Amino acid sequence: MPFAFPRESLSAFPPSLHPDYKSTVKRAPKRPLIPMPHTLSELTGPVYGHDSIRPGDEDLTKQHAGEPLGERIVVHGRVLDEDGRGVPNTLVEVWQANACGRYIHKRDQHSAPLDPNFTGAGRTATDAVGRYRFVTVKPGAYPWGNHPNAWRPAHIHFSLFGPSFLSRLVTQMYFPGDPLMAHDPIFNSVPDEKARERMVSRFDLAATVPDWALAYEFDIVLRGRNQTPAGP
């Protein structure tokens, strides 16, 4: 069976070994990869679905008794296939640090406060034309110990399945103008500059909600020449 998704997509992906991003040195395969032809079940089998999404899962500011601290934002966009068509009814999951740059995770011991009103995880499904929309707060930058004074630029992690397991994409969305992007080995592990730019959202004045929230637009392309690069 031929590959169902264009292999040129892979050119947008970061190499598995990028020594500036230290943990890739330990986890990158030491031998050449073996191509695995896709089977029918991988192409047509069910993917994690939209049936378990609860109302409100797309609003990260409404998961607790009070509202989280930070700059409230709308993050929206479309999930697209290699031909620019919207991918309908597909699961989109996000996770992020709070406005102070802290995750609720025992490994995260950054000396920034947790927010009792913010968990930092949400999910939704795209509509009939591939659109999605989240409400959240802008995440803070955080230090991560990769090298002296290493700070991650503000980012939101995304996981998408698309139409099959083969179109699974885990990536990160960045914010325009963030000076930390130039110094971030994860962002810069994507070799092509144009591909890196596809991980940066666009400030979207038209989608802001007056007196309430700013907005960023982030379209995600699952495959093809305009593929959004994968990010850890």
229: which 2 tokens? 């690069």
Catalytically annotated residue among 142, 198, 216, 223:
142
Indicate if 157 belongs to the active site. Answer: yes
Catalytically annotated residue among 72, 78, 102, 157:
157
Indicate if 18 belongs to the active site. Answer: no
Catalytically annotated residue among 76, 78, 102, 152:
152
Catalytically annotated residue among 78, 102, 123, 155:
155
Indicate if 21 belongs to the active site. Answer: no
Cβ neighbors of 195 (< 8 A, separation 6 or more) are: 11, 12, 227, 229
Distance CA 22, CA 184 (A): 12
Distance CA 93, CA 46 (A): 17
Distance CA 168, CA 230 (A): 10
Indicate if 183 belongs to the active site. Answer: no
Catalytically annotated residue among 21, 103, 174, 216:
103
Indicate if 198 belongs to the active site. Answer: no
Distance CA 50, CA 207 (A): 25
Residues with a catalytic annotation lie at: 103, 142, 152, 155, 157
